[in-house]
């Protein structure tokens, strides 16, 4: 088994012009600096969950909608707290619907309500999207409690058993 080397999790301050909301939509037309921030979180996701591939690259041209997430209620200077990325379909499942392919939040920012606050916005923009497994136990619990009306709910229940 390979030994995981130490790595830092640096959270960068949010520039004043992007401090307006809990999430900032990032597409391939967004400034490269924003796409690079999403890429950093994709690398953290890959490392934490021991994924064999990096799920997002700042220079990619394929269709996606990513979001940089913030902790707007923090007493500290605002920083990017995480990111997530939607794709037109699932990688591992036969789902041809919009899919939340990955999401990563800094461990300090988890369970602070960040995802709960932006979930209605994500559902409004992306409809009844599929959340790509495998899911961490915390994410599975979140999906089960926030997606009861989803047509994918039976699949999430199956994952829980």
Q: What is the value of pTM for the model shown?
A: 0.88
Please tell me the chain's helix, strand, coil percentages from 3-state DSSP, rounded to the nearest 5.
35, 20, 50
10 Å Cβ neighbour count for 136?
12
In a 10 Å sphere around its CB, with 0-12 CB exposed, 13-18 middle and 19+ buried, how is residue 8 labelled?
exposed
pLDDT tens-digit series, residues 45-70: 999 988 889 999 999 999 999 999 98
Domain boundaries, the chain: 16-131
Q: What is the residue-averaged pLDDT of the chain?
A: 88
The tens digit of pLDDT for each residue in 118-128 reads 999 999 999 99
Element (H, E) at 23: strand 23-26
Q: How many angstroms separate the CA atoms of 44 and 37, rounded? A: 11
Domain 16-131 has CATH 3.40.640.10: no
């Amino acid at each position: 088994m390979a030994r995981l080397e130490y790595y830092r999790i640096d959270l960068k301050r949010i520039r004043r012009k992007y401090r307006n909301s809990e999430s900032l939509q990032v597409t391939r037309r967004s400034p490269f600096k924003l796409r690079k921030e999403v890429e950093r979180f994709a690398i953290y996701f890959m490392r934490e969950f021991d994924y064999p591939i990096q799920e997002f690259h700042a220079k990619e041209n394929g269709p996606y909608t990513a979001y940089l997430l913030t902790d707007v209620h923090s007493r500290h200077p605002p920083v990017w707290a995480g990111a997530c990325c939607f794709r037109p379909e699932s990688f591992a499942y036969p789902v041809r619907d919009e899919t939340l392919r990955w999401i990563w939040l800094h461990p300090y920012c988890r369970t602070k309500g960040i995802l709960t606050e932006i979930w209605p916005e994500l559902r409004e923009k992306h409809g009844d999207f599929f959340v790509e497994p495998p899911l961490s136990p915390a994410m599975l619990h979140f999906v089960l409690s926030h997606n009861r009306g989803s047509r994918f709910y039976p699949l999430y229940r199956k994952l829980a058993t």
